[in-house]
A and B are shown apart, each in its own frame.
Chain A
Amino acid sequence: MTPPTERPTVSLSALPLKRSSILPGFGLSLGYTLVYLSIIVLLPLAALVLKASGLGLSGLWSIGVQPRVFAALKTSFTLALAAAAINVVFGVIVAWVLTRYDFPGRRLLDAAVDLPFALPTAVAGIALAAIYAPNGWIGALIAPLGWKIAFTPLGIVVALIFIGLPFIVRTVQPVIVDLEQDVEEASASLGATRLQTLSRVILPALTPALLTGFALAFARGVGEYGSVIFIAGNLPFISEIAPLLIVVKLEEFNYEGATAIAIWMLAISFFILFAINLIQAWSRRRFGNV
């Protein structure tokens, strides 16, 4: 490598941070990045942490176990888990079909999978509410059976399925593309039926990606607000999600309550994501790279 550039650079590049490189602009770009990151992300984060530390662990705990807060957190996490689990099942089917089969409309459906990324959540929310409401296209179909989706926890699940689907599909698709055909053929040549190959060879190969997609969809689902509140019904203890309760607390100028819920959400999310990371590390060890 060549020695550092002779060009006078901003002070940061003089720090021993940088491996010698002839490219210019390290100090400037890293400096800008850090300043911007601090203003936009770190400072607000610090405000939240500061507020939370003012509450103390006991304060956080006492707010967390308030029945309405506890119920909201439980609703958010259990329904996000449920939606992510449903998405794993259907997501793997959708990813498989869109990757492996050809049929009219395939490309259109494939492009549509990204819709939840592109469609504003509020729009998704009112649209889903309109469809699954008792007088909506689907809601009216199932109302005679006594089923109700919108304005019940089921409605929340529907919204979270919508939001989380692309995470699963887009994580699994590249893995399906990269599946080695000879592994499937080897399985068949050893006498395995197609179903055995699917369940004992292909599904295990997709598992790490499915876990990742599950984690992403779950994390997104826990924090989701816009698409949920229109279809949820928002009844405390039943269909009130944690982010909504934060908004409610804020409207009551109860900043402590809002902060405590936010901290609980972040803590539980990080804990679950950490656990999933461990599982993934374990499965990576198991699968390795052949």
Chain B
Amino acid sequence: MSEAATGWAGAPAESIWSGPEKKAARRSRSPVTGESDLLKAVLIGVTVVFLSLFLILPLAIVFTEAFSKGVAAYWGALISPDARSAIGLTLTVAAIAVPANIMFGLAAAWAIAKFHFPGKSFLITLIDLPFSVSPVVAGLMFVLLFGAHGLLGPWLKAHDLEIIFAVPGIVLATIFVTFPFVARELIALMEDQGTGDEETALSLGASGFSTFMRVTLPNIKWALLYGVLLCNARAMGEFGAVSVVSGHIRGKTNTMPLHVEILYNEYNTAAAFAVASLLALLALITLVLKTLLETRFNDALPGKARGH
């Protein structure tokens, strides 16, 4: 996709050469591979209207509604105790879930991309699994495992441990749904890169640890950042899975998205959108950084369709 971001717009035109790779640059000018101006205008129109209706308007209304009762009300909604505790919990959850998934992503990518072993593709499928499970089902799984009537419920109760309707459950559910982001980004890139660099470093006498720190990590840092960015956005914004395991206890187990829901259901629309605007801002920052990474460090990211 990142290639798409750079686009045909500035297709360099130096190519009077006949090589196929240069021919691609000619594309935008060829009189036969373009659509008529009319069709082009229609298609652009459809695109602009469609994306406006479904992407731009929702973003715009978040900020419009957030300030509909004025700046004071907006500020008031953000500094209310419940909002502050929701913000605090969201930050806490992300601060645990994201590093946990970074550790996992690094370990999984190292094992999968640098070694050959049977069952590897099955392992990759398992890592991708959380993407194909509904977040609500994910939450349900944790309730069935740790809930009062769950598998481990009685044992947890006996030891006075709370997971469901408590912060640990929220953290676990968040880790589950954000689990593949870092790993799949790194696996794709490190498989492309192969083992040559590391083997060279080792043959030059570097230790395994310093090879990882000084050779592998610099090679993957941008992809890692990219994965972390997506992982963090989802971790802070996760709703379904967290909603199931949180119990919606105000001031205690409410994350920002859950707090938005409660305010909205109480018809406190402006306050709901005020908190939502913080999350929307987070999304915008994520998008900007993501686009920046894709345009600046395209070579350092795995080159295939991105999703999720």
Contact = CB atoms under 8 A, between A and B. Distances in A.
**Complex contact flag A–B (Cβ < 8 Å):** yes
Interface of A: 7, 17-19, 21-26, 28-30, 32-33, 36-37, 40-45, 47-48, 50-51, 90, 93-103, 105-107, 109-124, 126-128, 130-131, 136-138, 158, 161-162, 165-167, 170-171, 173-174, 176-177, 181-182, 184-185, 188-189, 194, 198, 209, 216, 219, 222-226, 230, 243-244, 246-247, 250, 253, 255, 258-259, 262, 265-266, 269, 273
B55 A185 contact: no
Given A99-B8, A177-B4, A37 B111 contact: no
B108 A115 contact: no
B149 A255 contact: yes
Given A170-B306, A219-B132, A225-B135, A19 B287 contact: no
Given A115-B287, A124-B58, 12 more contacts: A41-B129, A45-B129, A95-B4, A112-B56, A115-B283, A118-B286, A120-B283, A122-B276, A127-B62, A174-B4, A223-B134, A226-B240
B55 to A, nearest CB: 5
B140 A102 contact: no
B162 interface: no
Nearest to B135: A225
Contact of A17 (B43, B118, B126, B175): B118
A42 B176 CA distance: 10
A101 B179 CA distance: 36
B30 interface: yes
Contacts of B236: 120
A44 B144 contact: yes
Given A25-B212, A32-B104, A122-B261, A110 B36 contact: no
A94 B308 contact: no
- The residue among A96, A114, A158 with the most chain B CB atoms within 10 A of its own CB is A114
- The B interface, classified by DSSP as helix, strand, loop or mixed, is helix
B96 interface: no
Contacts of A161: 54
15 contacts: A18-B116, A21-B114, A23-B211, A40-B176, A41-B179, A102-B7, A109-B55, A113-B51, A120-B256, A121-B237, A123-B283, A130-B273, A223-B133, A250-B143, A253-B149
A41 B138 CA distance: 9
B117 A30 contact: yes
A194 to B, nearest CB: 6
Given A118-B233, A118-B286, A182-B23, A266 B208 contact: no
B307 A40 contact: no
B52 to A, nearest CB: 9
Given A93-B47, A112-B51, A259-B140, A118 B283 contact: yes
A173 B1 contact: yes
Given A47-B150, A243-B137, A259-B140, A114 B287 contact: yes
Contact of A116 (B55, B123, B134): B55
Interface string B241-264: 001100000000000111011001
A287 to B, nearest CB: 17
Contact of B44 (A24, A97, A110, A194): A97
Contacts, number: 339
Contacts of A243: 134-137, 240
B136 A225 contact: yes
B43 A123 contact: no
A121 B239 contact: yes
B272 interface: yes
Interface string B163-207: 000000000100110010000000000000001001100110000
B144 A255 contact: yes
Chain B interface extent, by class? 35 or more
B140 A250 contact: yes
B126 A37 contact: yes
A252 B71 CA distance: 40
Nearest to B33: A184
**Which of A161, A262, A273: most chain B CB closer than 10 A?**
A262
A103 B9 CA distance: 9
10 shortest A-B CB distances, which residue pairs?
A: A223-B134, A120-B237, A24-B208, A44-B141, A226-B239, A225-B240, A127-B58, A243-B136, A47-B145, A118-B283
A163 to B, nearest CB: 10
B95 interface: no
Nearest to A246: B136
B84 interface: no
A127 B9 contact: no
A99 B308 contact: no
Given A120-B239, A247-B244, A165 B54 contact: yes
Nearest to B110: A29
